Structure 1
Amino acid sequence: MMSSVAHDTLTFEQSINAPLSAVWDAFAEPTQRAVWGVPAGEAQVYDDSNFMVGGRDKYRCGPPETLGFHGLVDYVQIVPPSLIVHTDTVTAEDQVLAVALLTWQFDAHGDTTMIRLTDQVTSFVGADMIEGHRNGHAKALEQLRDFLERP
């Protein structure tokens, strides 16, 4: 039984001083994504990755000692190097916590890349999961910037 359904559309923008090809590769390659995609002190492990239209990623994330959250990413549309649309379903202990439709847009401006992310999320466990998406994506985009701009 669902306790509390909440939903929101979250939008983010991040400018990165890196060429579009480097930004695209940092997303497309799961070993790179696992580095910048989770907050400090947490971990993400991809058990399977198939970055193509119709492909699916399976991952686990959370505190490194438990990795208690499980995710399924289904790729709906990929247009290299400008667009990625995918769903992301997060579960824990066989309970669906949230489902989201994410649209990543990448635009080159010389050696700088602008990312626009739209996250249309539905939480089945209340507003805290929405805030988790809001804070998690904001932090992930900052970490992606730092990952690519490091000397």
Structure 2
Amino acid sequence: MDAVSQRSTLVHDTVRLEQLVVAPLSAVWQAYAETAVRSQWSVPAGQSMVFDADDFHAGGRARYRCGTPGSMEFHGVIEYHFIEPEDTIVYTETVRIGEQLLASSLVSWEFIQEVDGICVVVTDQTTSYVGREMIDDSRNGHTIALEQLVSFLE
């Protein structure tokens, strides 16, 4: 893709979602912090996700594949920048399909104790290199993940 067509498909957006989870803070945190558990609830039904590595600490990196079972065409790299246990996670994420760069994001997860449970707030600031669809897919993916986190824990 040349510089002109790359520029014409560049899209930026911020997605902010909140979900109340009626469960103890420690359980909500562990559901995220444990990679094998996270991969169960964070992928939409009918899709697959495999973490090839997940060094879950500030300065750590994760590599994953996801998508259609059998092909898992999407490849992601996460760099964890800030982790405060049972409070906040901040990371950058880059997603590709083959050699094609699809999106880069700055993502934060906040776990806020409330009277009725834990309010999980996800803020995803994404730059898509391939148009609006990656922004919409990010919003949809986080929405589904949060809904499935509730089902997983409640």
Q: Output the TM-score relative to the length of structure 2.
A: 0.94
Q: 1:1-151 alignment to 2 at 5 Å?
A: 1=1, 2=6, 4-110=9-115, 112-149=117-154
Question: Taking every aligned residue pair, what percent have the same amino acid on both sides?
Answer: 49
Q: Please identify runs of 4+ aligned residues in structure 1 that moved more than 4 A.
A: none
Structure 2 CA distance, aligned partners of 1:92 and 1:75?
21
Structure 1 CA distance, aligned partners of 2:129 and 2:117?
37
Structure 1 CA distance, aligned partners of 2:99 and 2:30?
32
**What secondary structure does 1:23 align onto?**
helix
Cα deviation, 1:9-52, whole Å, max 9, x if unaligned, reads 11000000101100100111110111111100001000001000
The number of aligned residues is 149
- Stretches of structure 2 that go unaligned for 5 or more consecutive residues are none
- Stretches of structure 1 that go unaligned for 5 or more consecutive residues are none
Structure 2 CA distance, aligned partners of 1:110 and 1:22?
16
Deviation at 1:109, TM superposition (A): 2.4
Cα RMSD for the two superposed structures: 1.0
